[in-house]
């Protein structure tokens, strides 16, 4: 076992891994690349390709960690090193642009990405910011709120926030609870849709439907529609309710879809 004193020529690949190599005071290097124990002055020199030792030490890495790693690799190595370290889906232009965008985000947001196992596709809005020359650092208040939410809610808030920034040219004011911010941004993003939904709901509430028949306007994601409920106690009652509903068909269509 060879112990080597670290010199200025040694590259410290400190990408701030979430899980430190155990024991934490262990310092390992290969080919003048220090891969763990970044606060030490000496390290155990292992033979062979440093990329192979890296994969041995860090078998599972999140996208936030990959984003930080990409910055270090591009500063010190060529593209071939990146390919040795990563899987093929991170070699594409789309993936590289997304990781570059993620590298500009706060460590807190990157950690949320890793903790929630957010996918590259879900981070696509970040790439849109770079493509439109919008500095990601200007959206840090948004990313902070995203990091307080679940994976699904956070992805929605990120998408709404980026859309609003690109549409309006600025990010709406952010304050208070993260979930309230999500609802606020959703209303802003789908302002016209929300108004239409509320109008349809009001019309249905004012309509005169037969007894035992209720109707409401519901939205599920990008789709919305009329939901009907019929209470029948026997087959004869069921047939009667259906006939009553048929008589109200034209009226319901006029109420719901006259301005669609």
pLDDT for 39 equals 87
- Same domain as 114, residue 214: no
Instruction: List Cα–Cα distances, 218 to 5, 57, 153, 155, 225, in angstroms.
Output: 67, 51, 20, 22, 6
pLDDT for 259 equals 59
Per-residue pLDDT of the chain (260 residues; tens, 9 = 90+): 789 888 889 999 999 999 888 887 789 999 999 999 998 889 999 999 999 999 999 999 999 999 999 999 999 999 999 999 999 999 999 999 999 999 999 999 999 999 999 999 999 999 999 999 999 989 999 999 999 999 999 999 999 999 999 988 888 888 889 999 999 998 888 875 777 778 888 888 888 888 888 888 887 655 678 888 899 999 999 999 899 888 888 888 887 877 55
Contacts of 163 (CB under 8 A, 6+ apart): 125, 189
Separation CA 33–CA 45 (nearest Å):
9
What are the residues facing 205 on neighbouring strands? none
What are the structure tokens assigned to 97, written together? 């642009």
- Same domain as 163, residue 74: yes
- Same domain as 145, residue 49: no
- Same domain as 178, residue 79: yes
Q: Which of these three, 34, 60, 86, is where a domain ends?
A: 60
Separation CA 97–CA 74 (nearest Å):
13
Separation CA 14–CA 21 (nearest Å):
12
Contacts of 227 (CB under 8 A, 6+ apart): 215, 216, 217, 218
- Same domain as 103, residue 84: yes
- Same domain as 34, residue 2: yes
Peptide bond into 156 cis (omega under 30): no
- Same domain as 120, residue 22: no
Consecutive H or E run containing 54: helix 50-57
Separation CA 57–CA 86 (nearest Å):
14
- Same domain as 169, residue 69: yes
- Same domain as 52, residue 73: no
What are the structure tokens assigned to 187, written together? 């209303």
**How many structural domains is the chain composed of?**
3
Q: Domain span at residue 43?
A: 1-60
- Same domain as 89, residue 20: no
- Same domain as 157, residue 222: no
Question: Would you say 157 and 142 are in contact if contact means Cβ atoms under 8 Å apart?
Answer: yes
């Amino acid at each position: 076992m060879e112990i080597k004193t670290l010199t200025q020529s040694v590259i410290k690949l400190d990408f701030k891994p979430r899980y430190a190599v155990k024991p934490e005071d262990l310092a390992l290097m290969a080919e003048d690349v220090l891969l763990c124990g970044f606060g030490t002055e000496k390290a155990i020199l292992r033979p062979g390709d440093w990329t192979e030792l890296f994969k041995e030490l860090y078998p599972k890495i999140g996208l936030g960690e990959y984003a930080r790693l990409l910055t270090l690799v591009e500063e010190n190595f060529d593209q071939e090193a990146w390919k040795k370290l990563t899987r093929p889906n991170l070699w594409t232009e789309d993936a590289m642009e997304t990781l570059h965008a993620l590298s500009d985000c706060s460590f807190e947001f990157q950690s949320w990405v890793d903790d929630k196992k957010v996918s590259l596709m879900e981070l696509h809005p970040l790439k849109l910011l770079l493509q439109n020359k919008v500095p990601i650092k200007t959206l840090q208040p948004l990313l902070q709120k995203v990091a307080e939410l679940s994976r699904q809610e956070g992805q929605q808030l990120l998408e709404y926030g980026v859309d609003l920034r690109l549409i309006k040219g600025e990010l709406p004011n952010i304050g208070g609870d993260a979930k309230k911010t999500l609802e606020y941004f959703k209303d802003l993003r789908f302002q016209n849709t929300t108004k239409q939904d509320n109008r349809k709901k009001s019309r249905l509430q004012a309509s005169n439907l037969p007894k035992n028949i209720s109707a409401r306007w519901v939205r599920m994601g990008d789709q919305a529609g009329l939901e009907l409920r019929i209470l029948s106690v026997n087959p004869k009652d069921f047939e009667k309710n259906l006939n009553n509903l048929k008589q109200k068909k034209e009226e319901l269509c006029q109420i719901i879809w006259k301005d669609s």
